[in-house]
Amino acid sequence: MNAESIETILLNVDPIRPAADAIATAAAILRAGGVVAFPTETVYGLGADALNAAAVRKIFTAKGRPADNPLIVHLAAASELAAVAAGIPDAAYALAQAFWPGPLTLVLPRTEVVPDVVTAGLDTVAVRVPDHPVALALIRAAGRPLAAPSANLSGRPSPTNARHVMEDMAGRIGAVIDGGETGIGVESTVLDLTGATPMILRPGGLPREKLQAVLPDVTIDPALLPDTGEEPTVARSPGVKYKHYAPQAEVVVVEGDPAKIPERVRSLAAAAAAAGKKVGIIATAETAAAYDGAHVLVCGSRDNLLTVSHNLFSYLRQMDAVGVDLIIAEGVGEAGLGLAIMNRLRKAAAGRIVRAD
């Protein structure tokens, strides 16, 4: 049976107290080697038994994901870490105590039980414990760690609700668990603990500043500063290689002085409209009123970046739904969640960055 001929079951659950029968149905699909999409606190994940190589390959088939892009292994508790990771440093346990369950993925040496397909042949494994009742209930019911990237077609914006998942995955996977909207809206932070210094490989839902409160020497992969859209030769982390998070429309990001961004956005929008393009603008609350007459989605306030991260991927998909040709997105500062937001926008824009200075 190929990925296009699978009947996809939609299981609606309470996100806080998911019904045991729905979880049992999804867990049975996983134990049988199938693929199930489920909510986490970051985005929806596309899960399969992480210790079953054949099952994990179905994730790559469903997503159209390149085989050299590693996956994250999801556990139900930090106590399960030694089953998939070896040579675990004290720092990993300190971080787990501080931030698990939560949006932090740790890159550690792998054990032999983890199939090569999960790690893209690397000698490391990416691991986290998600902070969502549905995800945790599913992992426990399946009785296996789950390999799970985001539940979207490769390269598309990550899904933050079950409708997004069904748009991309209906007919490709066994089931989707609908647990409502995700909270954070961008993927987990990936921290590599295998080197001399802890290094952020992918910024995400746990800001650098919080990590540094536990490990002051945390650094950022130089490839992220700035992210120009160029791809690394070898992906040491999920989400750092290949075009990511992109809608069908072209995306341009305007960065720089917030006071000067509106003028630059208006200029770009006017030029695109004159060329016959339908333009959409993703704006912050502080400047949205500057774009009268344009199709504008207000993603949130610069003073509350959680609202921006929560809405970002959903709004990229909404722009596709209304058929825009060009999306112009305002950049935000890189403190806190801003680093993750800007990483996602720059990836979606494939390096099409305009400065407003």
Separation between Cα atoms, residue 212 and residue 303, nearest integer Å: 21
Residue 58 in contact with residue 34, Cβ under 8 Å?
A: yes
* Cα–Cα nearest to 273, from 318, 331, 328, 320: 328
Confidence band (pLDDT; 50, 70, 90) for 243?
Answer: low
The pLDDT of 308-330, averaged and rounded, is 97
Percent of the chain topping pLDDT 90: 89
Tell me: pLDDT of 89 over 50.
Answer: yes
How many other CB atoms are there within 10 angstroms of residue 32's CB atom? Answer: 11
**pLDDT above 50 (res 94):** yes
* pLDDT for 292: 84
CB atoms within 10 A of CB 325: 16
pLDDT of 245 > 90? The answer is no
Q: Which residue has the higher pLDDT, 238 or 183?
A: 183
Percent of residues in the chain assigned helix, strand, coil, to nearest 5? 35, 20, 45
Q: What is the pLDDT of residue 239?
A: 57
Write the CB contacts of 113 (distance below 8 Å, at least 6 apart in sequence): 51, 83, 84
Using DSSP, state whether 314 is helix, strand or coil: helix
**pLDDT score, position 233:** 52
Check whether 1 has a pLDDT greater than 50. Answer: no
> What is the reported pLDDT for 238?
60
Measure the CA–CA gap between 346 and 231, rounded to whole angstroms: 12
The pLDDT of residue 269 is above 60: yes
236 has pLDDT over 70: no
Q: What is the pLDDT of residue 5?
A: 72
Domain annotation for the chain: domains and CATH numbers? 3-224 (3.90.870.10), 250-356 (3.40.50.11030)
Instruction: Write down the pLDDT at residue 229.
Output: 45
CA-wise closest residue to 165 among 147, 183, 148, 153: 153
Residues 6+ apart with CB under 8 A from 277: 325, 326
Predicted local confidence at residue 45, as pLDDT: 98
Backbone torsion region of residue 239, taken as left when φ is above 0, otherwise alpha when ψ lies between -120 and 50, otherwise beta: left
pLDDT at site 228:
45
18-67 residue pLDDT tens? 999 999 999 999 999 999 999 999 999 999 999 999 999 999 999 999 98
Is the per-residue pLDDT at 3 higher than 70?
no
Judge residue 257's burial from the number of C-beta atoms within 10 Å of its C-beta, 0-12 exposed, 13-18 middle, 19 or more buried: exposed
Per-residue pLDDT of 135-184, as tens digits, reads: 999 999 999 999 999 999 999 999 999 999 999 999 999 999 999 999 99
pLDDT at 241 over 70: no
CB 236 within 8 A of CB 192: yes
| Nearest by Cα to 80 from 36, 31, 130 | 130
123 pLDDT higher than 50: yes
Average predicted confidence (pLDDT) for the chain:
94
Residue 315 CB contacts under 8 Å (≥ 6 apart), including other chains: 282, 297, 299
In the block, residue with structure tokens 């208006």: 266
